[in-house]
């Protein structure tokens, strides 16, 4: 099980089952959890030096996605969809997330998944043809799944 160095969470995340589960898991494991106002603007992280990148990446942010704007794509998909996470805990040298988020490319997990999926389903149902929604363009969903899975479902380790 991956345990972060610290967890930064929006209070509202506790109104969602996934948010409560994650926070309980981390608190039970003695991980320090800090309440933040907004996952988009964590002053403590912003003020850190680029040289602290490795340590910054060892944190997890838990929040609620408020804006859910689909961006027209029309290349390999119809829409780029900001989905249930952004960023990543890994540090692949070729990763474009660093270009997008700079040192704040840490993993943010959004706990209002049902609302996000509901919007996709409604849009798909209204369309007169099949649509392709690209949901993993600014995160790594495999990694996210390893973190958000319920205990007992999968014992594989992630390092």
Residues that bind ligand SF4 (CB under 6 A): 88, 90-92, 95, 97, 140
109, 22 Cβ separation under 8 angstroms: yes
Least Å distance, CB 76 to ligand SF4, is 17
Least Å distance, CB 90 to ligand SF4, is 4
Least Å distance, CB 104 to ligand SF4, is 13
Closest CA to 115 of 64, 50, 77: 64
Closest to ligand SF4 by CB, 23 or 104:
104
Closest to ligand SF4 by CB, 23 or 62:
62
Closest to ligand SF4 by CB, 127 or 141:
141
Measured between alpha carbons, how far is 63 from 60 in angstroms, rounded to an integer?
A: 10
Closest to ligand SF4 by CB, 7 or 89:
89
Least Å distance, CB 102 to ligand SF4, is 13
Q: How many CA atoms lie within 13 A of 135 on its CB side?
A: 15
């Amino acid at each position: 099980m991956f345990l972060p160095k610290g967890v930064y969470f929006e209070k509202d995340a506790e109104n969602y089952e996934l948010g409560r589960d994650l926070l309980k898991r981390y608190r039970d494991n003695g991980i320090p959890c800090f309440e933040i106002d907004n996952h988009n603007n964590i002053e403590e992280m912003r003020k850190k030096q680029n040289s602290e990148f490795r340590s910054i990446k060892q944190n997890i942010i838990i929040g609620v996605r408020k804006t859910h704007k689909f961006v027209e794509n029309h290349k390999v998909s119809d829409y780029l969809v900001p989905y249930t996470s952004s960023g990543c805990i890994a540090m692949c040298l070729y990763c474009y997330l660093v270009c997008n988020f700079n040192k704040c490319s840490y993993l943010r997990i959004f706990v209002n998944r049902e609302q996000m999926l509901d919007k996709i389903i409604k849009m798909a149902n209204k369309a007169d043809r099949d649509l392709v929604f690209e949901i993993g363009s600014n995160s790594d969903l495999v990694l996210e799944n390893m973190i958000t899975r319920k205990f007992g479902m999968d014992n594989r380790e992630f390092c």
